[in-house]
Amino acid sequence: MKKEQVRIGFYVCHCGHNIASVVDCKAVAEYVAKLPGVVVSRDYKYMCSDPGQELIINDIKEHKLNRIVVASCSPLLHEHTFRTATEKGGLNPFLCQMVNIREHNSWVHTDREAATLKAKELARAAVHRVMFHRELETKKVPITPAVMVVGGGIAGIHAALTLANAGKKVYLVEREPTIGGHMAKFDKTFPTLDCAACILTPKMSEVASHPNITLWTYSEVVKVEGFVGNYKITVKHKPRYIIEDLCVGCGECINKCVYKDPRFPDEFNEGLGKRKPIYLPFPQATPQVVLIDPEVCLKLKTGKCKQTCLEGCQDRKAIDFNQKERFSEVQVGAVIIATGFKTFDAKRIPQYGYGKYPNVFTALEVERMVNASGPTNGHVVLRDGREPKSIGIIHCVGSRDKKTNKYCSRVCCMYSLKLAHLLKEHTNAEVYNFYIDMRTPGKAYEEFYDKLLNEGVHFIRGRVGEVTDWAYAPGEEGKLVIRVEDTLAGFVRRIPVDMVVLATGLEPQPDAADVQRMFNMSCGSEGFFLERHPKLAPVNTFTDGIFLAGCCQGPKDIPDTVAQAGAAAAEALVLIDKGFIEQEPNTAFVREEDCSGCKSCISLCPYSAITFNETKKKAEINEALCKGCGTCVASCPSGSIVQRLFEDEEIFSEIEGLLVDSANGKNFAGQSSGEKRAEVMAK
Amino acid sequence: MKYCYYPGCSVKGTGRAYEESLLAVLNALGIEYEELEDWNCCGATAYMAMDEIKSCVLAARNIALAEKAGYTEIMAPCSACYLVLNKSLRYMESSKPVAETVNKALATANLKISKKIKVRHPLDIILNDYGLDRLKKAVKRPLKEFKVAPYYGCQIIRPYSTFDDQYNPTSMDKILTALGATVVEFPLKTRCCGSSLTGTLPEPGLLCAYIILREALRRGANVISTGCSLCQFNLDGYHDKIEKKWEPVRIPTLYFTQLIGLALGIDEQTLGIHRCIVPLSATIGQPVNS
Amino acid sequence: MHELVRTIKYEADRVPGFGEEIKSVPGCENLQSCIQCGTCSGMCPLSIYMDYTPRQIIELVRSDFKNEVLKSYTIWLCASCYVCTVECPREVHITDIMYELKQRAIHEGYYPKRFPIPVLAREFFRMVFKYGRVTENFLATTMMLKSNWKGVFSSWKLGLKLISTGRFPFKKEEIKRKDELQKILSTVDKLSIDMLGGISHLGNGTKKSNNNHNNHH
């Protein structure tokens, strides 16, 4: 740079009112015009707009500029915009430097004089820095044309099918022995009252038979290495003790099991039903393969069993008690996280009596009861088998409550209305819904509420504080009493019911923190995975190449889940179809002649990008893996590691620019701005 | 450790039996205590209704006196005193101007609050400090025929619950079981007894007491155990009025310390059993300890 | 014949600033977060006797309807059992707000003259100031005489029972250093003005609102 004269173009943006209301932009432009090396100094209302960018492009050509400084918003927003404009003007884009006088200045200060001075100083620092910028090239890194979808609920299924139908290779990894997620447990879905299984199972079987989808169930991701476009993921396959390819799902082994009757709580039916140690999770499980629970299977626990299941399997010989867990390693370019939610544990609110009073149920338990293929064949009954004559549905269990979860779980009002309808259909009971607000925002949702109002369901606006069994008035003996303020009518009521249904809210999965760490994502304060921007980037995360779909990002209903899954698939397609990503050239490299071979840097690199060349006895950095964090640069004792865009000269001159003595206007060398300017212009 | 014993005004009056039985039990178990010298009224709910800073200051004087005398833990048997003392401590912790005002006011008497002092309830001390195992060993006369409804009341459980669950407390349950008594399933453990309303606005206040007494009988209890002098008074003293308004619900209400005392073999006179308006003999046949 | 009553509230019926005043007391800030769910009223054992339920009181306070609130029966019926505060999903300290309202009602005289509860509070206050402790039987008797002296006749049976079981001591309870306590309490008045700022809710030992509309009963 010493050879050519620097000719700097400086632009300060008003950003409408955002910057100009606090910082005097004209004054900043006038001040910077007098700084060394500055040829053009302008202020403009919206630099990121087309005319704003045109200013840069034209000035480069007209004034033969060779450096650009833009003082405006955060580089996170428009660094790319201004670098592109610089490039259009014919300069290398990395000769452009941005100064943040919005997020770092006008948005956090109110004192106009002090903020303007700060803007001037920051601009001055950037002007000094940009003199030492070099021309750099971005690197193109190829993207592996495959996607992994983690989670096989409706979100994961839809995303996988979309990508597979676009011709891309998809690995669908699901932790449970079958895909389907929570939707497979529902009876009917709101507001259309479609049968959940009827709309879900065709998609499930499409997944199973799609040539582009590798379906791994009963499997979990255990290790993630790499970066966007080049992920190397290790998946653990838990042992079913069944050889998947040989099993046809006939179920003969289950019939022949030494346990004549099912005896163990059935997870799919929320513990209401029973199963045997060898079982199929539910009739439409995909893949149609049984599995054996090693905790209760006699052969696996004790080694002593007649193993009559083998007879059932006959010639297929699909049962293998010696199966061990396996691992697979795959390379993918992008990952879609669709790990779903878990329901709020109603035991955390002892006031509602779940677990204490037998006839208090959660919504999911009732959903299974109402389902014709559920544990009671569609009959809604109390624990002792009687039919309930009165049912109370309590909304907002675990939601909208500072003591449990502050947020609204979004779907509970709708599913409570749905359950009210189904309960009215299946029983002759009086149904009461106790709510705080009736939240029915979606398409056809308000109409659904109207339908319910006309079905004779009692709606009482009042949050239930507790469910008790102490009776006061006649008719309350032996029942569960709900004492609530009917806020709309304006008095307190005691309502005895036979059965209480708790509309439990949605929560993140219990291991969300582990998944978050593995994929280098962030979580919000409630524990759901954090999207890059709540309005404009709801499926991206802050890590390139990792996308979110479904309730793992926040509670939502099925239509929104499917929409989001499609969006995530589209974002993944963008990456894969482009085929490469441009990597920012802020990587580090080793100046071989200065490297002493001390190896301090190698273990410090968080991306394992540095290796030691035994022949040369020097450290070498793999620039494809380098993310430009700067750790090795700072640690190198001999100062032989250099980072592009953050070279020593650039940083020191930026500091020098900041520390110019504002009182007498002289820098460390005792030069005033004018003197320094003359020196720079003369070179 | 020696506990600073803060009696409160009611145990010197209508709650005499509470103090008598508590002190007898503490002596029998070997728990050391000493009454706070020149303690003043905590203010209870009435002072809060007049001025919360003055209420805080009233409580603070006692805590400061305890600090001056070198105590680190105060034992407050009356639930209202327990709550007011704890609330004042928290109020001072949460608001610096309040803490400064209180300390400035106390300074006029050369008192201050500078150390952390804990205010504890005898239930907490007996369960957690003394321990159930030791208590079981000290039982001489197991309370086999007693079916007890444990009634905690509200002030020791809400709004601060330092030693027990707010919704379903079990500290008294555990102690009673250790004494050999049967604890009945009682859903109204923490429902308000009516507080001072039984004296000022009888109808709502008595209804609260009636509901508790009725449910205790329905659950099969033959005695109610309580840890607050006002609760005991409300459940014990108004049976005539309750019978007139609704129905007879005669069941004796004893302090849990009286029950511990009976199990330890202490005689009824010392424990103040004769001070109950509904006598113990109304449901438990013979005298327990003469 | 049922008498028709017209109830419409105009903006002039509000006392602007009342809600802010209550909110500014430490501990009562969450008042604004109330979602009117009704849990407090549903759990309150006394709400069935109240003219305005606790939930309604919060709404009235928020909307500055001072007269309706301070004239209500509700604030006297609150037994401060704290169920509402503990169960509130927005952590509104309803019991503390009730205490604030009681204080203002007492100091501004918003209740019938011989209403027992504020009479009890005042007598309690006086007895503690004078003697440092409370002698229950004297307090109860004084309260009854000053509020509903006929109550003495209905309570004589209870009185006798208390005497016979030794729960009616005739000795006056008092502390030794009475003047010390009185000095401490009097200092609070002065300090409240100096340190806790203004007369808006603390000062001169009286609770005064900034606006004194219609403070008679």
Q: What is the mean pLDDT of residues A129-155?
A: 93
CA angle A486-C73-B238, nearest 5°? Answer: 95
Could you give the residue ranges of the DSSP H alpha helices within chain B?
Answer: 16-29, 44-48, 52-68, 79-94, 96-107, 122-124, 132-138, 171-178, 197-200, 202-218, 229-237, 239-245, 256-263, 268-271
Q: Assign A669 a pLDDT band (cuts: 50, 70, 90).
A: low
- Counting as contact any 3 or more CB pairs under 8 A, the partners of B are A, C
Whether A513 shows a pLDDT value over 90: the answer reads yes
Distance CA A333, CA A171 (A): 11
User: Interface of chain B against chain A, CB under 8 Å?
Assistant: 165, 167-168, 187-188, 211, 215
Task: Kindly state the helix (H) or strand (E) to which residue A142 belongs, with its residue range.
Answer: strand A139-142
Residue A588 in 3-state DSSP? strand
Instruction: Encode pLDDT of C6-37 as tens digits.
Output: 989 999 999 999 999 999 887 888 999 999 99
The pLDDT score that the predictor gives to residue C150 is 73
- Burial of B280 from C-beta contacts in 10 A (0-12 / 13-18 / 19+): buried
Query: Helices C178-195 and B52-68 sit at what angle, rounded to 10 degrees?
Result: 130
Q: How far is A500 from chain B (nearest CA, A)?
A: 18
Partner-chain contact B168 A468, CB within 8 Å:
no
Q: What is the mean pLDDT of residues A17-32?
A: 93
Q: What is the mean pLDDT of residues B15-34?
A: 94
Q: How far is C4 from chain B (nearest CA, A)?
A: 29
The pLDDT score that the predictor gives to residue A106 is 94
Of B274-278, C18-22, C205-209, the range with the lowest mean pLDDT is: C205-209
From B154, B116, B90, B100, select the one nearest C27 (Cα to Cα). Answer: B90
Whether B131 shows a pLDDT value over 70: the answer reads yes
Q: Assign A678 a pLDDT band (cuts: 50, 70, 90).
A: low
The pLDDT score that the predictor gives to residue A228 is 83
- Counting as contact any 3 or more CB pairs under 8 A, the partners of C are A, B
Residue A18: CA count within 13 A, CB half-sphere: 19
Q: What is the mean pLDDT of residues A272-301?
A: 94
The pLDDT score that the predictor gives to residue B178 is 95
Distance CA A588, CA A210 (A): 44
Q: Is residue B159 reached through a cis peptide bond, with omega within 30 degrees of 0 on the bond before it?
A: yes
A468, closest residue in chain C (CA to CA): C43
User: Interface of chain A against chain C, CB under 8 Å?
Assistant: 351, 396, 400-403, 436-437, 461-466, 483-487, 490, 492
Q: How far is C8 from chain B (nearest CA, A)?
A: 30
Q: What is the mean pLDDT of residues A11-31?
A: 93
Quick one: CA torsion of C150, C152, C153, C154, rounded to 10 degrees? 90
Q: Assign A140 a pLDDT band (cuts: 50, 70, 90).
A: confident
Could you give the residue ranges of the DSSP H alpha helices within A385-494?
Answer: 412-426, 445-453
Q: What is the ipTM of this complex?
A: 0.90
Q: Assign C201 a pLDDT band (cuts: 50, 70, 90).
A: very low
From A635, A609, A602, select the one nearest A623 (Cα to Cα). Answer: A609
CA distances from B108 to B54, C187, C188 (A): 14, 8, 10
Partner-chain contact C41 A464, CB within 8 Å:
no
| Beta carbons of A553 and A595 less than 8 angstroms apart | no
Q: Assign C196 a pLDDT band (cuts: 50, 70, 90).
A: low
Chains B and C form CB pairs within 8 A to the count of 195
| Beta carbons of C124 and C142 less than 8 angstroms apart | no
A357, closest residue in chain B (CA to CA): B187
- Burial of A113 from C-beta contacts in 10 A (0-12 / 13-18 / 19+): exposed
Q: What b-and-e string marks burial along A45-58, b requiring 16 or more CB atoms within 10 Å of the CB?
A: eebbeeebbebbbe
Q: What is the mean pLDDT of residues A188-192?
A: 95
Contact residues for A510 (Cβ-Cβ < 8 A; gap 6+) = A342
For residue C215, what are its two tokens?
Answer: 């403070």
CA angle C132-C135-C139, nearest 5°? Answer: 105
Partner-chain contact B167 A350, CB within 8 Å:
yes
Of A351, A400, A485, the CB nearest to C38: A485
Residue A242 in 3-state DSSP? strand
Of B168, B188, B211, the CB nearest to A350: B168
A477, closest residue in chain B (CA to CA): B218
C177, closest residue in chain B (CA to CA): B38
Q: Considering only CB atoms, which chain C residues are within 8 Å of B57? A: 184-185, 188
B238, closest residue in chain C (CA to CA): C158
| Beta carbons of B110 and C183 less than 8 angstroms apart | no
The distance of Cα A434 from the centroid of its chain, to the nearest Å, equals: 33
Give the mutation candidate from A401, A438, A463, A483 for the C interface (greatest C CB count, under 10 A): A463
Partner-chain contact A351 B167, CB within 8 Å:
yes
Q: Considering only CB atoms, which chain C residues are within 8 Å of B21? A: none
Instruction: Encode pLDDT of A394-417 as tens digits.
Output: 999 999 999 999 999 999 999 999
The pLDDT score that the predictor gives to residue C47 is 95
C169, closest residue in chain B (CA to CA): B13
Of A32-36, A368-372, C97-101, the range with the lowest mean pLDDT is: A32-36
B110, closest residue in chain C (CA to CA): C180
Partner-chain contact A484 C42, CB within 8 Å:
yes
| Beta carbons of A609 and A589 less than 8 angstroms apart | no
Partner-chain contact C82 B159, CB within 8 Å:
yes
B96 or A40: which leads in pLDDT:
A40
Q: Look up residue A523 and give its DSSP letter.
A: B
User: Interface of chain A against chain B, CB under 8 Å?
Assistant: 350-351, 468-470, 472
The pLDDT score that the predictor gives to residue C203 is 34
The pLDDT score that the predictor gives to residue C112 is 77
Quick one: CA torsion of A368, A372, A377, A381, rounded to 10 degrees? 50
For residue A124, what are its two tokens?
Answer: 């001055």
Whether A664 shows a pLDDT value over 70: the answer reads no
Chains A and B form CB pairs within 8 A to the count of 10
The pLDDT score that the predictor gives to residue A683 is 56
Of A350, A351, A470, the CB nearest to B215: A470
DSSP A616-657: TTEEEE-TTT-----HHHHH-TT--EEETTS-HHHHHHHHHH
As a whole number of Å, the end-to-end CA separation of chain A is 10
Q: Assign C108 a pLDDT band (cuts: 50, 70, 90).
A: confident
The pLDDT score that the predictor gives to residue C199 is 37
Q: Which amino acid is at B84?
A: V
The pLDDT score that the predictor gives to residue A479 is 96
Partner-chain contact C188 B105, CB within 8 Å:
yes
Contact residues for A389 (Cβ-Cβ < 8 A; gap 6+) = A428, A429, A430, A498
Instruction: Encode pLDDT of A143-178 as tens digits.
Output: 999 999 999 999 999 999 999 999 999 999 999 999
Distance CA A235, CA A563 (A): 27
Distance CA A39, CA A53 (A): 17
Of A205-219, A489-503, C189-203, the range with the lowest mean pLDDT is: C189-203
| Beta carbons of C79 and C40 less than 8 angstroms apart | no
Q: What is the mean pLDDT of chain A?
A: 92
Partner-chain contact B97 C117, CB within 8 Å:
no
Q: How far is B90 from chain C (nearest CA, A)?
A: 11
Contact residues for B271 (Cβ-Cβ < 8 A; gap 6+) = B17, B20, B21, B24, B257, B258, B261, B262
Q: Considering only CB atoms, which chain C residues are within 8 Å of A401? A: 89
The pLDDT score that the predictor gives to residue A680 is 62
Q: Assign B290 a pLDDT band (cuts: 50, 70, 90).
A: low
Instruction: Encode pLDDT of A319-333 as tens digits.
Output: 999 999 999 999 999
Distance CA A278, CA A295 (A): 11
Partner-chain contact A469 B167, CB within 8 Å:
no
CA A39, A44, A46, A52 torsion-angle sign: negative
The pLDDT score that the predictor gives to residue B43 is 85
Contact residues for C9 (Cβ-Cβ < 8 A; gap 6+) = C65
The pLDDT score that the predictor gives to residue A1 is 43
Of A324-333, A421-430, A613-622, B257-266, the range with the lowest mean pLDDT is: A613-622
Residue entry with tokens 């190829």:
A142
| Beta carbons of A657 and A133 less than 8 angstroms apart | no
Partner-chain contact B53 C80, CB within 8 Å:
no
From B201, B189, B200, select the one nearest B226 (Cα to Cα). Answer: B189
| Beta carbons of A195 and A284 less than 8 angstroms apart | no
Residue A344 in 3-state DSSP? coil
Whether C211 shows a pLDDT value over 50: the answer reads no
